[in-house]
Amino acid sequence: MLQDKIKVLSELIRIRKDLKREGQKVVFTNGVFDILHRGHVEYLEKAKSLGDVLMLGLNSDASVKKIKGEDRPVMGQEDRAIVLAGLSSVNYICLFEEETPENLIRELIPDILVKGGDYQIDDIVGRETVEANGGKVVTIDLVEGQSTTSIIEKMVKLAKKG
- pLDDT value at residue 154: 80
- In 3D space, the residue among 102, 103, 112, 104 whose CA is nearest the CA of residue 133 turns out to be 112
Total tally of structural domains belonging to the chain: 1
- pLDDT value at residue 3: 94
Give the domain range for residue 107: 2-161
- pLDDT single digits (tens) 84-115: 999 999 999 999 999 999 999 999 999 999 99
Distance CA 18, CA 85 (A): 21
Global confidence as pTM: 0.92
| CATH number for position 128 | 3.40.50.620
Cα–Cα distances in angstroms (integers) from residue 55 to residues 74, 91, 97, 146, 155, in the given order: 23, 6, 16, 22, 31
- pLDDT value at residue 56: 98
User: In which band, very low, low, confident or very high, does the pLDDT at 151 lie, cut at 50, 70 and 90?
Assistant: confident
